[in-house]
Amino acid sequence: MPFVFDFDHSHRRPPMELKDLLGGKGANLAEMTSVLRLPVPHGFTITTDACRAYMEGGWPEGLSGEVKRARVRLERKMGKHLGDPVDPLLVSVRSGAKFSMPGMMDTVLNLGLNDDSVQGLAKQTDDERFAYDSYRRFVSMYGRIVLDIPGEAFDTLLDEAKERSGSTTDADVPVGQLQALVFAYKQIIRDHTGADFPQHPDAQLQGAIEAVFGSWNGPRAIAYRDHEGISHDLGTAVNVQAMVFGNRDDRSGTGVGFTRDPATGAKGEYGDFLVNAQGEDVVAGIRNTEPLSALKEKFPKIHAELMAIFVRLERHYRDMCDTEFTIEQGKLWMLQTRVGKRTGRAALRMAVEMTTDPGIRLTRGEAVQRVTAEHLDQVLHPQFAGTGHAVLTKGLGASPGAAVGRVYLTADDAAAAAGRGEHVILVRTETSPEDVHGMLASEGILTARGGLVSHAAVVARGWGKPAVVGAEQVRITGRSFTVGATVVNEGDWISIDGTAGEVALGQVELVEAKASEEFETLLGWADVIRKGHLKVRANADNGPDAANGRRMGAEGIGLCRTEHMFIAEDRLPIVRRMILAKDTEAENAALEELRVAQRADFIEILKAMDGLPVTVRLLDPPLHEFLPDTGELAIKEATVGLTAEEQALFDAAKQWHEYNPMLGTRGVRLGVIKPGLYAMQVRALMEAAVERVADGGKPVIEIMIPLTVTREELALARSWVEAAVTATLASSPRATRRRLEVLIGTMIETPRAALRADEIAEVADFFSFGTNDLTQMTFGFSRDDVEGRMMSAYLEKGLLKHNPFETVDADGVGELVRLGVSRGRATRPTLKIGVCGEHGGDPASITIFADAGCDYVSCSPFRVPIARLSAAQVVLARAAQPASGAKKRAPARKAPVRKAVAKKRPPAPKAPVRKAAAKKRAPAAAKRAPSRKAPARAAAASKKRAAGGAKKRAAGGTRVASPRRVARSRAR
């Protein structure tokens, strides 16, 4: 296989399909040249094979010869020679991997110029200014990109030259200054490298090609691939292309154009251009660009030609394309095209509109595949309202959504300000575990350092808090920070957009997330596609959340956490009375009060989800979480003393204290110790159901026992539930009873439960994988300790590929899920199986759950649309490769127990399937950490509670619940 292909080489397949070999840029250049026959300057592509060979064993044998022959072919086509002192050919050397990768090597333009050929160029073009302008660009680019010399060295000199000559733009710098610049630039190169700037074009070319190869393993490129989940083995291609000159004169220029508006998705061209400029002048913001509409006035013929090309590109790629073009003395050249990046809003609009576009005619399935979870994430979070705000600085958008607040620069100050009721943005150079309380108290987080797996990024995503990280211009000193000359003091308002990575001064107006018509349309199509495959439910603990989940398209509630009903301020004293009860009578009295309160909650929830299944989980957290903090009470005891009530609570708290509460008396274990509790909850629920039926509703109830480990445990809990159901229904009319559906099942959230799923299924009507706890227990990671303290180090060092609390661990936890499904169904083929961990809203995890054979996923209402989309995309991906998908599911359901288990033990093939599916999505979205509304809300609620607690304390009461503890309870 050759290492080098000309753009006009006739490949057996359309070159646009050869991105693996030619890289994205090379593949599309070849497509435009050889298939579309657009005006593209000639050139050739050195393949990714060559790069891989280079990485393995240095400069590949035979490559020099191939490059040389390709160069000769190019020179022949152009009628010019590289380095010719009379009429030189110049080329660009452009990197281009399979996936577009910011952070890779830049492009070197004007290669082939040297002290002799620059004079030839000047004579040929009769334009000395142009020739030296090209040369100074080349020398500085070569220095910066190939020789790794910091760009400022060159930029400062250019700025000085401009000042000296009084020029406002690069194009006005007189030739004398340009010549002096070239001289000075060469001196910089000598100083930095100890060698002269290479004059020979062969040396220049080889240097540039090697630099592109080498840039594949540059730290920025590696970090980017890690984040995007792109393989490190792909390598990059190198494109060598004859130069065309937008900086030739005023009949020349360069620009970028989109075939539709990438921000809104609106039809019609969109883009910028600059007269008399080269390459990246347009994006560099050196001069003010003009919109493409201005092109129409200045170069009407070119504009018309470009528009015709746009139409062809869209029809050919069946998608919105972005392009780079250059005009050289009135002639249009196309330099690049690719399917363009777009905002979420634009992605939705374009996907829907292209189904009816006669030139494109997307199928609905294709439209659904065009939208990524990240796109939906964008439209589902509040964002800056318009483009009117001035961006102070930019960083990495690490956790989506926008936030507005006052600046605080330490975690303590942030927490204190939030305690006073202020909205806070915590600004830190970087964050560490000591900052967690301040992060929790903030609306959003801004850091000056750190990448997408930094502490701040990981923690913020875990909580669904907007965050911008790595805003490198931010310098913090004492009680203020600066960005250049701007000083922002503690208490000043700023706004951050964690989707776009933008930071702005003041209170930027936000737009609430709102669903467009296209959003509804596209998700409707997704629902049709996933019908009969994977259902999507919401995790909701109260009526409003349930209603919201339903609006978002949830097909039921997969997890209703009853403890949230207990933590409410009016309930907590009753719960405490129950815990403190000295005898059964007092305990029952308290339970009775709770029952009445819970019944009202359940009615609301069942009403909101009428006709759809509602999975109610009986009480899960350890009792001490409802008791005051022992540390605080101990201090109070030692100082001002305790009231009698406080003393009782203190004693109880000490009595219920556990060393490892996560592994302690919680879930069904609590039920075993306090059986009255579960009976009370079931009665409250069933009474609510009866009342709903009486009101003409259709409640569908699933009662779920948490943290089961053995069959016997579940059998016992089930017997209480059944007894309570029967007891409650005994007094209701038979018609009511007949209209009530009640299933009793369990969560599978311990490794043992997954392993013994066959036994457990004997007494369960359904399973729901609690993948948060299952992850904690499988890894032995306490989420609250690990996520803040060590997760970022693990991710940075590559010890983990993803945060397993964001994307389910496919090999370990995923294996337990697969095992649990197959063993459970071996016992009970009709077993209904869902997932209710936060992973249920994460696209990569959804693929794993769908492949395991789950019936539904359940996630926070906010993530429901993303889950609907992802579920449909899984179905579409499976249809594209029917064999692997079908094989995996079918046998699990039918085969008898042991055999099925033995045979089914799914071998490795999971991995490739997952990868294939992941590839389908835009890489950016694939690994994007989901935001979690639920924890955000829990955090917000906890903040409120903490504030309430503070008030109470002041009034001599006891603390309600510490944010820390509520934060802990979120993980279950």
Catalytic residue among 381, 455, 564, 624: 455
Smallest separation (angstroms) from ligand ADP to the CB of 328: 8
CA–CA distance, 364 with 344 (Å, rounded to integer): 17
Q: Which of 750, 802, 740, 739 is nearest to 776 (CA)?
A: 750
For ligand ADP, the closer of residues 270 and 720 by Cβ is 270
Residue 390 structure tokens: 């001035």
Residue 421 structure tokens: 């009721």
Tell me if 323 contacts Mg ion by CB under 5 A. Answer: no
Smallest separation (angstroms) from ligand ADP to the CB of 245: 7
Cβ atoms 181, 161 nearer than 8 A? yes
- Specify the stretch interacting with Mg ion by CB under 5 A; choose among 152-160, 439-447, 763-771, 849-857: 763-771
Smallest separation (angstroms) from ligand ADP to the CB of 346: 20
Smallest separation (angstroms) from Mg ion to the CB of 96: 9
For ligand ADP, the closer of residues 6 and 366 by Cβ is 6
* Candidate residues 265, 365, 770, 820; the one interacting with Mg ion per rule CB under 5 A: 770
Smallest separation (angstroms) from ligand ADP to the CB of 704: 52
3-state secondary structure 101-120: CCCCCCCEEEECCCCCHHHH
Look at residue 972 and give the partner it binds from ligand ADP, Mg ion, none, a contact being a CB closer than 5 to 8 Å depending on partner kind: Mg ion
Tell me if 749 contacts Mg ion by CB under 5 A. Answer: yes
Tell me if 972 contacts Mg ion by CB under 5 A. Answer: yes
Tell me if 336 contacts Mg ion by CB under 5 A. Answer: yes
Tell me if 400 contacts Mg ion by CB under 5 A. Answer: no
Tell me if 773 contacts Mg ion by CB under 5 A. Answer: yes
For Mg ion, the closer of residues 392 and 835 by Cβ is 835
**Largest Cα span, the chain:** 106
Catalytic residue among 51, 321, 836, 854: 836
- Specify the stretch interacting with Mg ion by CB under 5 A; choose among 36-44, 520-528, 747-755, 874-882: 747-755
Cβ atoms 247, 328 nearer than 8 A? no
Contacts of 181 (CB under 8 A, 6+ apart): 132, 136, 157, 158, 161, 173
Q: Which of 204, 234, 175, 3 is nearest to 108 (CA)?
A: 204
For ligand ADP, the closer of residues 241 and 746 by Cβ is 241
Smallest separation (angstroms) from Mg ion to the CB of 269: 18
- 3-state SS assignment for residue 751: helix
Residue 614 structure tokens: 């509602």
- 3-state SS assignment for residue 38: coil
CA–CA distance, 661 with 851 (Å, rounded to integer): 33
Look at residue 144 and give the partner it binds from ligand ADP, Mg ion, none, a contact being a CB closer than 5 to 8 Å depending on partner kind: none
Cα distances (angstroms) measured from residue 265 to each of 324, 469, 781 = 19, 28, 44
Look at residue 204 and give the partner it binds from Mg ion, ligand ADP, none, a contact being a CB closer than 5 to 8 Å depending on partner kind: none
Smallest separation (angstroms) from ligand ADP to the CB of 306: 14
- Specify the stretch interacting with Mg ion by CB under 5 A; choose among 138-146, 260-268, 765-773, 904-912: 765-773
Look at residue 773 and give the partner it binds from Mg ion, ligand ADP, none, a contact being a CB closer than 5 to 8 Å depending on partner kind: Mg ion
The 480-483 sheet, strands edge to edge: 474-477, 480-483, 486-489
Tell me if 768 contacts Mg ion by CB under 5 A. Answer: no
Look at residue 770 and give the partner it binds from ligand ADP, Mg ion, none, a contact being a CB closer than 5 to 8 Å depending on partner kind: Mg ion
Write the DSSP string, 836-881: -SGGGG-HHHHHHHHHHT-SEEEE-GGGHHHHHHHHHHHHHHHHHS
User: Is 836 a known active-site residue?
Assistant: yes
Look at residue 279 and give the partner it binds from Mg ion, ligand ADP, none, a contact being a CB closer than 5 to 8 Å depending on partner kind: ligand ADP
Look at residue 323 and give the partner it binds from Mg ion, ligand ADP, none, a contact being a CB closer than 5 to 8 Å depending on partner kind: none
For ligand ADP, the closer of residues 27 and 335 by Cβ is 335
Phi, psi of 620 (to 5 degrees): -115, -45
Contacts with ligand ADP, residue ranges (CB under 6 A): 41, 92, 94, 106-107, 109, 241-244, 279-280, 324, 326, 335-336
For Mg ion, the closer of residues 384 and 626 by Cβ is 626
Number of H helices and E strands in the chain, helices first, is 43, 33
CA–CA distance, 436 with 623 (Å, rounded to integer): 25
CA–CA distance, 63 with 237 (Å, rounded to integer): 13
For Mg ion, the closer of residues 25 and 437 by Cβ is 25
Smallest separation (angstroms) from ligand ADP to the CB of 812: 39
Helix (H) or strand (E) holding 97: strand 91-97
Look at residue 303 and give the partner it binds from Mg ion, ligand ADP, none, a contact being a CB closer than 5 to 8 Å depending on partner kind: none
For ligand ADP, the closer of residues 326 and 858 by Cβ is 326
Look at residue 241 and give the partner it binds from ligand ADP, Mg ion, none, a contact being a CB closer than 5 to 8 Å depending on partner kind: ligand ADP
Look at residue 261 and give the partner it binds from Mg ion, ligand ADP, none, a contact being a CB closer than 5 to 8 Å depending on partner kind: none
Tell me if 622 contacts Mg ion by CB under 5 A. Answer: no
User: Is 455 a known active-site residue?
Assistant: yes
Write the DSSP string, 136-159: HHHHHHIIIIIS---THHHHHHHH
Cα-Cα-Cα-Cα torsion 492, 495, 498, 500, nearest 10 degrees, comes to -130
Smallest separation (angstroms) from ligand ADP to the CB of 106: 6
For ligand ADP, the closer of residues 252 and 931 by Cβ is 252
Contacts of 342 (CB under 8 A, 6+ apart): 262, 263, 265, 320, 350, 375
Smallest separation (angstroms) from ligand ADP to the CB of 310: 16
Report the residue count for the chain. 972
Tell me if 272 contacts Mg ion by CB under 5 A. Answer: no
CA–CA distance, 834 with 103 (Å, rounded to integer): 40
**Catalytic residue numbers, as ranges:** 455, 836
**What is the binding site for Mg ion (CB under 5 A)?**
336, 749, 770, 773, 972
